[in-house]
Amino acid sequence: MRKLKNVLLLCLTLAMVTGLATQATPADPIKIAFVDPLSGPFAATGENGLNQFKYAAEAINKSGGMLGRQLEIVGFDNKVSPQESLIQLKKVIGDGIPFVFQGNSSGVAHAISDAVQKHNERNAGNRVLYLNYSAVDPALTNDKCHFWHFRFDAEADMKMAALTDVIAANKNIKKMYIIGQDYSFGKAVADGAVAMLGKKRPDVQIVGNELHPIGKVKDFSPYVQKIVASGADAVITGNWGADMVALAKAANDGGLKVPFYTYYAASDGVTAAIGAAGVDRIRLVHESHPGNPNAPKALSEYITGYRKLHPQNDVNQPRIHTALNMLALAVKKAGTVDVDKVAAALEGMEYTNLSGDQVIMRRQDHQLQMPIYISVHTNKNIQHDLDASGFGLSLESKVDRDKATQPTTCKMQRPS
């Protein structure tokens, strides 16, 4: 009899313990999903992004985390495929993770943004927030905008406006060649370049406007031949990852000496591949101070700390730090991880980022408003090099936030 009692007692304790375990206790970490390529041709880009998220999260955790809970970044490999991303998003939702970060490829971003919107409309009790840290197709905060999408990188047109200002000032440029990856972002870059150059420098002739398949081209030499044959004085490209490395290599080998105006021609092997051939020739438009010369103190310390952990990788996306910290602030302000309340808290939020710039999340379309920087590939006066190559980016010009801003067609619908 006594034995039976003991068994019953044990069962009861077990039931209670398992009951407790399934309930989220305040000490449980808040999970944050990172959905980006962790295998395949763009794995290097995705892996470095994930490491930067973990690095940024660690700093937040050290200062107390969110609502007294620790952050945990969970990586999901989407192989830069929209279909695969939707499968991963289902997993994220199934795991009850409320926040999804994604950035590589606007094609993927459109798929996730759409799916998140539909899911949230149908499942009011189990919503997810899509935080886009890198996909810059303007449509995402224009025609396709919705309440559960926030973008922390400058959209392609903001960057193109800054880039075309620099190009317009260079009177040596008479013929422009545009080359990009064949998907929504590559097309957005090309359209933006044609439209803005047409306005600012109608005398510049567009001698080539080329799209190539993303992640499939093995050797860019034929493309480089075409650029040379077109007699172009300069090239605009939105290529990133392996496609940028290969294009840079082929341009070096083919003797293409014209200036390149790019979005992503740095880090993840690109800077090393360009090397000496690109000095003072490759320009890059981005959302942060490039780290040279005279990096703001916060940025400099952040870069140095990251380099200690990952000697081969760079902080090429300081916006990851901005995005994660703004999310943490929004959760703090909302006092909950409830997606709608956090989203409402993010709207209009101001934040001072690592570059010391005051950025603001525009309510109207959820596009972060920020200054735009243009820098040049060089090995002179480099304190923070990239790819551990001795080469890095040096600041050339900065467009203030008020000037960098672009109008939006977004008509934001908020859940009532």
Q: Note the residues at the interface with another protein (CB under 8 A).
A: 40-44, 47-48, 182, 210-213, 215-219, 221-226, 228-229, 242, 245-246, 249, 253-256, 268-269, 272-273, 275, 312-313, 387, 389
Cβ 241 to another protein shortest distance, Å? 9
Residue with Cβ nearer another protein (29 or 254): 254
- Closest contact distance (angstroms) between CB of 54 and another protein is 15
Closest approach, Cβ 285 to another protein, in A, equals 22
> How many Cβ atoms are within 10 Å of 286's Cβ, its own excluded?
23
Closest to another protein by CB, 222 vs 356, is 222
Question: 130 or 185: whose CB is closer to another protein?
Answer: 185
Residue with tokens 């960057």: 159
What is the chain's Cα-based Rg? 23
195 contacts: CB under 8 Å, gap ≥ 6: none
Question: Counting Cβ atoms within 10 Å, is residue 250 exposed (0-12), middle (13-18) or buried (19+)?
Answer: buried
Strands 129-132 and 99-102: parallel
CA distance 14 to 217: 58
**SS3 state of residue 297:** helix
Q: Closer to another protein at the Cβ: 186 or 318?
A: 186
Nearer to another protein among residue 267 and residue 292 (C-beta):
267
Residue type, 58: E
Give the shortest CB-270-to-another protein separation in angstroms.
8
Q: How far apart are CA 87 and CA 79, in angstroms?
A: 11
Nearest-angstrom CA–CA distance, 281 and 109: 31
Q: How far is the CB of 149 from another protein (least distance, A)?
A: 27
**Which is nearest to 238 in space by CA: 191, 302, 174, 204?**
191
Of the two residues 141 and 184, which places its CB atom closer to another protein in the complex? 184
Residue 49 or 371: which CB sits closer to another protein?
Answer: 49
Report d(CA 254, CA 45) in Å as an integer. 26
